[in-house]
Amino acid sequence: MNYQTFEPHPNLSSIVKFYWTLEVPFDPNNEKQKLIPDGCLEMTFNFADPIKRYISETEYILHPCSMMMGQRTKSYYIEPVGNVDSFAICFYPHGFANFVNVPLKSLTDKEIPLEELFEEVQAQELEQKMVQATNTEDRIKIIEDFLFNKLNEKSTTDNIVQSTVDALLATKGNSSISDILKDDLSKRRQLERKFANEIGISPKQLGKVIRLQSALKMILNKEEESLTTVAYESEYYDQAHFIKDFKEFTGISPKEFLGNENMELSALFYK
């Protein structure tokens, strides 16, 4: 696997976390891979063969060639049909709301073709330019021109959403919503509604995903060998609470995660 990440333009860095590319030559022995929620939304372009996303043990759908992946509330399996050659824009949780009018809750746990989110001609033109580009540098310029043009049209992320996401990211998911809102119940209801529209999941769900990501990175980078220490550093109540949340999002325990062939791609992404 050849996985690389690239920094966005400074004027997009508060919205776009990074760009990534993935190239994987086809191997009939490759295992299908389980992906774990990371709290971000991704616009993805596939330039090679289709990729399956399993909806049951045996049933699957094929990813569109250009699509937007909404927030994930659960892990899922993917499997390439042949060669993989992908480019993606990883948006911060609040980032993609700046570019569309649809409630982002409608994208949760789904892959939506770009032509359903933008004007059809506009989406097709973008996809064609990305396919015809010959290198990553050109693709980044194409996508940044597109994003800057869309930003000139509108900017929708609400301050209350922005500040909550910033607080959750700064504390690795451990800020309580009550602390962020100073126990203002009217603001809590407003925040829940705005999160559904602009993020796609609730503040509590996003906090759990961000905290899990922090623990995952600690495990993958071997910063701590003890699961008890990982749980403590990530501010879970105890090891049992950590394992419970880990299984909720991955379907397996932390010990089962390491060395699992189905988790190879997730380990690469989240390390």
Contacts (Cβ under 8 Å, ≥6 apart) of 128: none
Which residue intervals of 89-200 are DSSP H helices?
120-132, 136-153, 159-170, 177-181, 185-198
pLDDT digits (tens, 9 = 90+) for 220-250: 777 556 788 888 888 888 888 888 888 888 8
Are residues 138 and 14 part of one domain?
yes
In which band, very low, low, confident or very high, does the pLDDT at 84 lie, cut at 50, 70 and 90?
very high
- The mean-pLDDT minimum among 18-22, 115-119, 225-229, 251-255 falls in 225-229
CA nearest neighbour of 198 among 161, 150, 148: 161
Which residue intervals of the chain are DSSP H helices?
120-132, 136-153, 159-170, 177-181, 185-198, 203-220, 227-233, 239-250, 254-257, 264-270
**How large is the average pLDDT for residues 14-23?**
94
Are residues 146 and 12 part of one domain?
yes
Please say which residue of 119, 136, 153 terminates a domain: 153
Q: For residues 263 and 34, is the Cβ–Cβ distance under 8 A?
A: yes
Are residues 214 and 163 part of one domain?
yes
Model confidence, pTM: 0.78
Range of the domain at 259: 159-270
* Number of structural domains the chain divides into: 2
Are residues 126 and 12 part of one domain?
yes
Please say which residue of 95, 125, 153 terminates a domain: 153
Are residues 26 and 118 part of one domain?
yes
What is the C-alpha separation between 11 and 122, in angstroms, rounded? 23
Are residues 94 and 71 part of one domain?
yes
> What number of CA atoms fall less than 13 Å from residue 186's CA on the CB side?
0
Are residues 146 and 15 part of one domain?
yes
Q: Is the pLDDT of residue 154 over 60?
A: no
- Give the bridge partners for 84, in sequence order: 24
Q: Is 266 exposed, middle or buried (0-12, 13-18, 19+ CB in 10 A)?
A: buried
In the block, tokens 């961000």 appear at 210
Q: Is 182 exposed, middle or buried (0-12, 13-18, 19+ CB in 10 A)?
A: exposed
Are residues 232 and 165 part of one domain?
yes
Are residues 167 and 124 part of one domain?
no
Buried b (16+ CB within 10 A) or exposed e, 49-65: eebbbeeeeeebeebbb
Please say which residue of 110, 135, 153 terminates a domain: 153
Which residue intervals of 90-135 are DSSP H helices?
120-132
Q: For residues 93 and 41, is the Cβ–Cβ distance under 8 A?
A: yes
In the block, tokens 């220490």 appear at 229
pLDDT digits (tens, 9 = 90+) for 182-219: 666 667 777 888 888 888 888 888 888 888 888 888 88
Q: Give the pLDDT of residue 262.
A: 78
43: domain CATH number?
2.60.120.10
pLDDT digits (tens, 9 = 90+) for 45-74: 999 999 999 999 889 999 999 999 999 998
Contacts (Cβ under 8 Å, ≥6 apart) of 124: 115
Are residues 137 and 6 part of one domain?
yes
Are residues 144 and 261 part of one domain?
no
Are residues 70 and 34 part of one domain?
yes
233: domain CATH number?
1.10.10.60
